[in-house]
Amino acid sequence: MSILLAAPGRDLSKLKEAILHLDDSLEIDLWPAIQDKNRVHFAVCWNHPDYMFPQLPNIKAVSSLGAGADHLLKDEALSEDIPICRLITPSLKSGMADFVLHTLSCIRHHQTILSRQKSNRIWEQHSVIPRKNLHIGIMGMGEMGRAAAELLIRNGYEVNGWSRSGCELDGLNSFTDNEMDSFLGQSNVLICLLPLTGDTRDILDLDVMKKLKKPAYLVNLARGEHLVEEDLLYALDTGIIEQAWLDVFETEPLPDKHVFWNRDKIMISPHIAAITPADEAAGIIVENYKRTMSGQELMFPVARSSGY
Ligand code: NDP
Ligand code: OXD
């Protein structure tokens, strides 16, 4: 029986090594070089090709190689009977929390202005924005949102969290999905950590941006499809939004000709907010493979009904 690792364009050799380090009796295939397609029982994927699953007649479960599983759920060739899980590790959560804290620090210290000043050899000082002036609003209080909120609260930020069912966390102002307007009205740094579903696609639109407390900042670390790109450009041009910090995009890598590259008020990072180290990923992959083979429930299962 084999585990297939399929992430075109990514070097998976370290992950394969880490899995074999845990159990050298396992058989690992790296897409597209599969020894025997009938032997593949478990696949770990990131942006796999559409035509892959119909070639794997004995697949029993599939894991995302990341935290999001939207790329698997949209594949109609992946039968609804096949359970899906995702990879959540301690470093992924702490990495995301660190990245959010770092972004807030950059906003407070005017990093966008400093970068521009350096290009033009300008020496000009700016006073730091006090933490109390930033009211943080996190959309999505799951694995990532909760880890970020905990770290921000420990660092003295006021944090509002928005989710479908609400989130119990000491020091957090929790809002449920029908309290969106009041959540937005009390937040001026909006951080998107939602899964991509039918309900959340295009959620970061002009209407949402206008409802934020001023001055407003937008940080999207979840999926590019959450953001209505032309609405952001309008919001930046009209002062509705001061700056945007984007780590994820509809098309990745962000195309060379994309208008976002030339905007001073948009900071871009290449989908690196949080990354799963190979050794931690391997532990979860091996565990979920073994659970699959012995008919047990998977760790970090994805519910097809909710889409996350
Ligand atoms: P989870 O599935 O753990 O959490 C989802 C959260 O969103 C839950 O709190 C859920 O509410 C809430 N939610 C879902 N739908 C709605 C809705 N319609 N209205 C309000 N709240 C909603 O996700 P993760 O924390 O693991 O991941 C969050 C995002 O971050 C994903 O898009 C993921 O792909 C992305 N990500 C990005 C990385 C990067 O490097 N940029 C790295 C890792 C993740 P409830 O609690 O009520 O269910
Ligand atoms: C993701 C990830 O889901 O990088 O974006 O894990």
- Paired with 2 in beta bridges are 27, 40
Ligand 1 centroid – CA 7 distance (Å): 22
Average pLDDT over residues 223-233: 98
Is any atom of ligand 1 closer than 6 Å to the C-beta of 165?
A: yes
- Residues 15-39 have pLDDT tens digits of 999 999 999 999 999 999 999 999 9
- Taking phi over 0 as left and psi of -120 to 50 as alpha, with beta for the rest, 14 belongs to alpha
Residue 223 annotated to the active site = yes
C-beta 168 within 6 A of ligand 1: no
Cα of 248 vs centre of ligand 2, distance in Å, is 9
What was the pLDDT predicted at 234?
A: 98
pLDDT of residue 213: 98
Report whether residue 163 contacts ligand 1, using a CB cutoff of 6 Å: yes
Reference 212, options 249, 180, 178; nearest CA is 180
Amino acid (one-letter) located at 261: W
Strand (E) or helix (H) holding 27: strand 27-30
- Give the mean model confidence (pLDDT) for residues 262-279: 96
DSSP letter string, 253-265: SPPTT-GGGG-TT
Q: Point out the catalytic residue in the list 131, 164, 271, 304.
A: 271
**What is the band of 48 on the pLDDT scale with cuts at 50, 70, 90?**
very high
Taking CA atoms only, the protein residue closest to ligand 1 atom 48 is 164
Distance from residue 67's CA to the centre of ligand 2 (Å): 5
Query: Are 108 and 152 within 8 A, CB to CB?
Result: no
CA of 66 relative to ligand 2 center, distance in Å: 4
- On average, the pLDDT of the chain sits at 97
Omega of the bond leading into 57 within 30 degrees of 0 (cis): no
- Ligand 1 centroid distance, CA of 144 (Å): 7
CA quadruple 138, 141, 147, 149: dihedral sign = positive
CA-nearest residue for atom 2, ligand 2, is 66
Q: Is 271 a catalytic residue?
A: yes
Catalytic residue chosen out of the listed positions 86, 135, 223, 226: 223
Q: Which ligand 1 atom is at minimum distance from the Cα of 167? A: 46
CA dist., res. 144 & res. 141, Å (int): 7
What's the confidence (pLDDT) of residue 141?
A: 98
| pLDDT tens for each residue of 173-187 | 999 999 999 999 999
Pocket, ligand 2, Cβ cutoff 6 A: 66-68
Q: Write out pLDDT tens, residues 88-146.
A: 999 999 999 999 999 999 999 999 999 999 999 999 999 999 999 999 999 999 999 99
Kindly report, residue by residue over 54-95, the tens digit of the pLDDT.
999 999 999 999 999 999 999 999 999 999 999 999 999 999
